């Protein structure tokens, strides 16, 4: 299959430009003028004779309007139907739809019409509660509220933040789940109603900004009861919404209790850990599904084997709130060997522009056991050289060596508390 890449003026030197069969510039560095410029992206696809568009992880990947515009121009959007993207993009709607499908959701409300309604709801749910932006996800416009006294202020500031970020200030409320794990389920669905899950990933190692740093599959120390509930709910949810393509359902897990949080209608950054344990190329499956093929296998044909871990190598100063680092990479050496995979866009001499996400590479380690995967990852990280900017390599090594990580007994509070203890 021949590929056409798009790039911004700041990304001329990025590896994807060289790896694709053809590459075209879609505008200057700032994302609004290049990667988010729909007319430029669509006209590149049309001029080069593309028949399908893979939207990647970010940018336009969960933009229902973009998916519609692709279809209007005879281009196959590699993703689910625009109506499903839109429904899952609105977090209050997604929760309502999932609840209707019989998926466990966090106790809470639909959109709150007023602060009065919020006050009544919080009393009924019981403090502490969480205000969330329906247009949000990822924590923007989210506020924890410990008691009635703090509610008015939290409601105003969350509304203002959501309005400023998304031009949609609408909020809903949930009971705060204390010390949960973030566990997500990978799904694949074709256009004929066939749905399978590809197990779960534990993504609880997150920075205070809610960005993931280390992910692993399968989730360690997960009860069979919780695991079955997660997998069953994910498949049921996809059948209910008429999902097609690859997707992820995010859950909060507390003991044996699981609560649906959000659904991502794209392929995710951390999909390689699932690819490693299932020996399935998820992007290939996305393309097969989008071209109208059936899955061609059922749940019984699928089984996870071994364990996989991903470390994100970001150009960030982990001792300074993970501040992004721009600059030129003086030297770069990536690891290899059995069970090691490196996905990257950089090389020695590459320039890191200030416009985009600070991720430089993903290092993924596979092992027959979790201990073997950890050992391989430690060796791979020690082999890695990225000189010229600060990176998260040291932070990842510190986490891998920590008893709570070793024992697989960490939750979403683990990395934030590790950072606080270091001061
Ligand atoms: C929650 C929660 C606890 N209880 N919802 C964070 C971002 C957004 N995706 C939802 N988030 C959370 N929702 C309830 N009812 C805790 C978080 C949360 C979190 C979730 C996953 C991974 C890291 C997190 C860090 C802080 C808070």
Residue spans of the chain under pLDDT 50: none
Whether residue 206 has its Cβ less than 6 Å from ligand 1: yes
Contact between residue 200 and residue 193 where contact means Cβ atoms under 8 Å apart: no
Q: Is 223 exposed, middle or buried (0-12, 13-18, 19+ CB in 10 A)?
A: exposed
The number of C-alpha atoms within 13 Å of 264 and in the hemisphere containing its C-beta is 20
**Going by C-beta distance under 8 Å and a sequence separation of 6 or more, which residues neighbour residue 132?**
91, 141, 142, 158, 171, 172, 173, 174
Whether residue 215 has its Cβ less than 6 Å from ligand 1: no
- The residues of the chain that CATH labels 3.30.1490.20 are 107-175
Looking at ligand 1, which atom is closest to the CA of residue 106? 15
Q: Per the residue annotation, which of 143, 266, 341, 376 is the catalytic one? A: 266
Ligand 1 pocket test, pick from 261, 264, 415 with the greatest ligand atom count within 8 Å of Cβ, gives 261
182 alpha carbon – ligand 1 mean position (Å): 8
Instruction: From the options 3.40.50.9100, 3.30.470.20, 1.10.30.50, 3.40.50.300, give the CATH code of 181-422.
Output: 3.30.470.20
Query: At 297, phi and psi to the nearest 5?
Result: -150, 165
Given this model, what pLDDT does residue 139 score?
A: 83
pTM: 0.97
Residue range 4-79, CATH number: 3.40.50.20
- Over residues 254-273, the pLDDT tens digits come to 999 999 999 999 999 999 99
- The residues of the chain that CATH labels 3.30.470.20 are 181-422
Given this model, what pLDDT does residue 334 score?
A: 98
DSSP H stretches of helix in 74-150: 82-89, 91-100, 115-125
Whether residue 106 has its Cβ less than 6 Å from ligand 1: yes
Is 227 one of the annotated active-site residues of the chain? no
**CATH architecture assignment, domain 107-175:** 2-Layer Sandwich (3.30)
**Nearest in space to 316 (alpha carbons), one of 209, 204, 202:** 209
- Over residues 123-132, the pLDDT tens digits come to 999 999 999 9
């Amino acid at each position: 299959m021949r590929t056409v890449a798009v790039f911004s003026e700041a990304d001329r030197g990025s590896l994807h430009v060289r790896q694709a069969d053809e590459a075209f510039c879609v505008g200057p560095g700032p994302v609004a003028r290049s990667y988010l410029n729909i007319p430029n992206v669509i006209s590149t696809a049309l001029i080069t004779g593309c028949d399908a568009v893979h939207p990647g992880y970010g940018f336009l990947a969960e933009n229902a309007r973009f998916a519609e515009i692709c279809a209007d121009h005879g281009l196959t959007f590699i993703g689910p139907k625009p109506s499903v993207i839109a429904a899952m993009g609105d977090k209050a709607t997604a929760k309502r739809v999932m609840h209707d499908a019989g998926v466990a959701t966090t106790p809470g409300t639909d959109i709150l019409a007023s602060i009065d309604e919020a006050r009544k709801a919080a009393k009924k749910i019981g403090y502490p509660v969480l205000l969330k932006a329906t247009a949000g996800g990822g924590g923007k416009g989210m506020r924890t509220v410990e008691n009635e006294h703090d509610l008015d202020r939290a409601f105003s500031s969350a509304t203002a933040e959501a309005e400023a970020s998304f031009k949609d200030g609408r909020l809903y409320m949930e009971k705060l789940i204390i010390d949960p794990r973030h566990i997500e389920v990978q799904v694949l669905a074709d256009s004929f109603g066939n749905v399978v899950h590809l197990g779960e990933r534990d993504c609880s190692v997150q920075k205070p900004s809610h960005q993931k740093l280390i992910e692993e599959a399968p989730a360690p120390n997960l009860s069979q009861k919780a695991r079955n509930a997660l997998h069953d709910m994910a498949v049921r949810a996809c059948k209910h919404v008429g999902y097609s393509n690859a997707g992820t359902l995010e859950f909060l897990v507390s003991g044996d209790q699981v609560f649906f949080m959000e659904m991502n209608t794209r392929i995710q950054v951390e999909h390689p850990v699932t690819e490693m344990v299932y020996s399935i190329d998820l992007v290939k499956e996305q393309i097969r599904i989008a071209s109208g093929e059936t899955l061609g296998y059922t749940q019984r044909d699928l089984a996870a084997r071994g364990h996989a871990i991903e470390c994100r190598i970001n150009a960030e100063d982990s001792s300074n709130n993970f501040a992004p680092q721009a600059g030129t990479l003086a030297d770069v050496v990536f690891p290899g060997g059995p069970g090691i995979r490196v996905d990257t866009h950089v090389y020695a001499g590459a320039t890191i522009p200030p416009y985009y996400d600070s991720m430089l590479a993903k290092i993924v380690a596979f092992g027959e056991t979790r201990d073997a995967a950890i050992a391989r990852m430690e060796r791979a990280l020690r082999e890695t050289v990225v000189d010229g900017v600060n990176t998260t390599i040291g932070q990842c090594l510190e986490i891998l060596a920590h008893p709570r990580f070793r024992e697989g007994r960490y939750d979403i509070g683990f990395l934030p508390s590790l950072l606080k203890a270091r001061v």
